[in-house]
């Protein structure tokens, strides 16, 4: 990890995803359902994919292994997002679901440690542990008076947890044999393939906002996620998965909280503030160790 490029791309990802996280509910509150938001997101993946292909002079890798790895990464990521917004959050409360899926880097770290033989020095491991502690703290939400019934929500939450954790491992694994730009192209393709399912899951009997605060604002917000997704592929190309995964997952919510505080004047819960402190310290330790 001699190159600092991993950190540059990781920070771009956390910044873009952090802003995306603070704004993503805007369109849904305005009457544009999350299912159609997924469709818009899949379309916003196209421009970054074209830019990526241009970078490699349109020399897309289309051998069987590259297509397989790209499809695995794409379906794990897009499929997890589709399950989260169309199933998990309709069956259970966000305050229980997000802390579970936020620990997906645990899967990435374990698989990368076992199969990629990735290692970190002492301060790096301390930073990784602090990041893993910070992530569920940053996902904390008051339970309020909601009553949880059944366990279907837990099944869906665990599916997303496993999907995104395994995806993180394959990001690094695939980067060793194929171009990052090709990986992202197949991510775009798989996202589009799943779009019809999102449309089928949309309740068109309910009013849908087709104005500016609907698909148009959604596109402006979702492009942040798409660009961040491209940058994280590059971050995994140049950096260790056991560092990149917890770093990006811990820092992005910090930015989300800060922006939400500025926009909505919402004071974070002490648990969230604690998570922010842990996340910042984790970033310092991990980046210091990997200089």
Report the pLDDT averaged over residues 185-202: 96
266 vs 130, higher pLDDT: 130
Helix H segments across the chain?
5-23, 25-29, 34-44, 46-55, 64-83, 89-91, 94-101, 105-115, 122-138, 152-175, 180-193, 195-200, 217-238, 241-264, 270-289
Q: CA 195, CA 271: separation in Å to the nearest integer? A: 36
Over the stretch 140-168, which tens digit does the pLDDT of each residue have?
776 654 555 677 888 998 999 999 999 99
pLDDT of residue 151: 76
Indicate the SS3 state at residue 139.
Answer: coil
* Least trusted range by pLDDT, from 65-74, 245-254, 262-271: 262-271
The 10 Å Cβ neighbour count of residue 151 is: 11
Q: Where are the domains of the chain?
A: 5-289
pLDDT of residue 95: 67
For the chain, report the end-to-end CA distance as a whole number of angstroms: 8
> Is the per-residue pLDDT at 2 higher than 50?
no
pTM given for the model: 0.88
* Beta-carbon contacts of residue 248 (< 8 Å; ≥ 6 apart): 10, 13, 14, 17, 232, 235
Q: Give the best-scoring range by mean pLDDT among 190-204, 249-263, 272-286.
A: 190-204
Over the stretch 61-114, which tens digit does the pLDDT of each residue have?
999 999 999 999 999 999 999 998 888 877 877 667 887 888 889 999 999 999
* Least trusted range by pLDDT, from 54-63, 108-117, 119-128: 119-128
Cα separation values, 59 from 55, 62, 178, Å: 9, 9, 11
> What confidence tier does 290 reach under pLDDT thresholds 50, 70, 90?
low
């Amino acid at each position: 990890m001699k190159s600092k490029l991993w950190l540059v791309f990781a920070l771009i990802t956390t910044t873009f995803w952090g802003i995306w996280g603070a704004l993503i509910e805007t369109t849904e509150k305005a009457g544009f359902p999350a299912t159609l938001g997924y469709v818009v997101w899949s379309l916003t993946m196209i421009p970054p994919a074209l830019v990526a292909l241009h970078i490699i002079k349109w020399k897309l890798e289309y051998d069987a292994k590259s297509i397989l790895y790209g499809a695995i990464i794409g379906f794990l990521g897009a499929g997890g997002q589709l399950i989260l917004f169309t199933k998990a959050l309709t069956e259970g409360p966000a305050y229980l679901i997000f802390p579970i899926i936020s620990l997906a880097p645990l899967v990435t770290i374990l698989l990368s440690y076992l199969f990629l033989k990735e290692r970190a020095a002492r301060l790096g491991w301390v930073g990784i542990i602090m990041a893993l502690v910070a992530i569920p703290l940053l996902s904390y939400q008051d339970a309020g008076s909601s009553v949880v019934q059944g366990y279907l929500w837990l099944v869906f939450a665990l599916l997303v947890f496993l999907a995104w954790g395994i995806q993180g491992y394959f990001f690094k694994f695939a980067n060793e044999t194929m171009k990052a730009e090709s990986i992202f192209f197949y991510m775009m393709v798989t996202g589009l393939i799943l779009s019809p399912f999102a449309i089928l899951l949309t309740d068109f009997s309910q009013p849908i906002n087709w104005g500016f605060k609907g698909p148009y604002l959604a596109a402006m917000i979702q492009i942040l996620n798409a660009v961040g997704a491209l940058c994280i592929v590059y971050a995994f190309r140049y950096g260790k998965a056991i560092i990149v995964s917890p770093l990006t997952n811990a820092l992005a919510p910090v930015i989300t909280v800060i922006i939400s505080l500025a926009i909505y004047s919402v004071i974070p819960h002490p648990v969230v503030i604690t998570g922010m402190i842990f996340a910042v310290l984790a970033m310092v330790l991990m980046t210091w160790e990997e200089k």
